[in-house]
Structure 1
């Protein structure tokens, strides 16, 4: 019966949107502006949002061989940073709460049904407007639901395992990926989070799966120039080095950011003594989404605070890609890439400290 209701709702929403947009391509600026409002993020008074750890606890060298974490500067060395990644079953098993972010997730993606013990069926792929309308109309467990923002969707993957979502909490092998509400700046698209936790912009009329979220929205990045070559991000408590490796530490970050391989980037940040701090490191994949702001445009950091456009180049994170241990995540704008740890041609380093 639940399966029938789910599919009937999909048919109703799809039919309505089909009538509104016969060719699914006739967008205009007014429509784009209205849709962009769905990704406005704010934290209501009293919210205690904390950025959950990526949950990577094992460290790997450039060949993908395990090694002791102490002194490496890898993500695995910094457990529960800034806060633990904690999942809790709720609502008679239908939903999962991630405690640090305070986000509640559907246990089964759209198209699947919770039986009381597992998810059955198969997830369904739909275009963005259907996914958005469905989440906005969902009433499971008496909660208000929505499509997650790209930043929120990036908080769900568990980077301690290949499946990225633990089967205990998200059964039947369903991935973490799907549609988000965040507009892809520059064209009529939205950001899509892959099952591996990477974010990519995609046309809204492409069909993909999705999973709805409930709870207080994750905040936008909020930057303050401390005046000593560092920038503070208020929501995470992280300090960000204003200038990337290779740039001069002056008010304009003169020069070009220089590429490094992953081990070189780890060593650079791990050994950095700057602004009276020695606890510098590469950001984790989670933290990298909170030292960026996609609404800015083609650059993921505000030029007024992070001068010199070369700062937008792809930058390493300290998080190993668990499907291929000889690679690591790197970020450009609001997208996440995977590069070989030996790559020294394309990837740069920007260090963080704290919180």
Structure 2
């Protein structure tokens, strides 16, 4: 771990780099922290959080060739679900609003400057404490800013884009990933968001890019057992099948969760008739982050509601990896990690429906 002296040196260097710009001259860390705590309210109780669609509109077979989406069960078939993905320029082009989530994103990474038409300069990589202090002190467009949570960090990317971000909205792309504020449970670190849309745990003393967010905080997961073999995530309305593929649909999800190829997993969920519903599917890569709760200690799924979850510690999503069309995203129950897996890999399946 870096000692306090080196932390201070790095912070001062970072401060001097961004303090020379007009938008950063009103630096007041204490005031900014207080503003962030008071203005970043969560979604109001009783209303569903509008989880934006991944925006993946094409479907692909296991060779990576485009195919018709109808009947595939892929992410590209289920559009605008749970809510549309829509980006909007704000603040004279300096920030980007994602309308469904209500989150406003810094258009240029830390170290880059918006000159009225594009992001100029180069992004700076810093360790987590500097990243957190920078976002808390930022005053761009008169807004209160913070590091995004792990869940928030997956909401502004566009899974129709090979680069994950659209150059129209995020010009001069450099190191599109960055730090999040979410602690990695059982690990000295925080979750790091990557340009391809995946997340993994990273030691806080490593250096990575920073992109700040403003707006209402995305809620933590809240689950309700529906008593019919399904569990509802209350904030999104998403319905989750309690037991994974090939487990018995009993109180403890007895048995092993057998692995499937991606196509087999798509077919299983797409043809499932369970709990009086036939609209089952693999979750999108975005939905996969909302059937987990990273504040839990031993597992990101509450074991009282999802027993025997270790049998399905990694499960498929319906989203193709936009930078490798013969791969799809898979989500790990533990440590909130996501992966890009070959479609022919053997991975478990847990289905969702709704909302």
Match of 1:78 in 2: 78
CA deviation profile, 1:175-200 (whole Å, cap 9, x unmatched): 43100000000021000000011000
**What secondary structure, in the 3-state scheme, does the structure 2 residue paired with 1:322 have?**
coil
Contact 1:9 1:134 (8 Å CA) reproduced: no
Unaligned runs of at least 5 residues, structure 1 = 13-36
Matched, 1:7 2:17: yes
**TM-superposed deviation, 1:77:** 0.2
Match of 1:90 in 2: 90
CA deviation profile, 1:43-79 (whole Å, cap 9, x unmatched): 3569773100000000000110110000000000000
Matched, 1:52 2:52: yes
Change (3 A) 1:132 1:5: closer
Greater mean alpha carbon deviation, residues 284-293 or residues 308-317: 308-317
Q: Structure 2: how far apart are the matches of 1:250 and 1:281?
A: 21
Match of 2:144 in 1: 144
Normalising by structure 2, report the TM-score.
0.87
**TM-superposed deviation, 1:5:** 7.3
Unaligned runs of at least 5 residues, structure 2 = 1-13, 25-36
Match of 2:205 in 1: 205
1:214-253 equivalences in 2 (<5 Å): 214-253=214-253
Change (3 A) 1:311 1:102: farther
**What secondary structure, in the 3-state scheme, does the structure 2 residue paired with 1:145 have?**
coil
Match of 2:326 in 1: 326
**What secondary structure, in the 3-state scheme, does the structure 2 residue paired with 1:281 have?**
coil
Q: Structure 2: how far apart are the matches of 1:131 and 1:175?
A: 15
Change (3 A) 1:111 1:8: closer
Contact 1:149 1:182 (8 Å CA) reproduced: yes
Match of 2:340 in 1: 338
Please tell me the root mean square deviation across aligned C-alpha atoms, in Å. 2.0
How many residue pairs end up in the alignment?
323
Match of 1:170 in 2: 170
Match of 1:15 in 2: none
Change (3 A) 1:211 1:8: closer
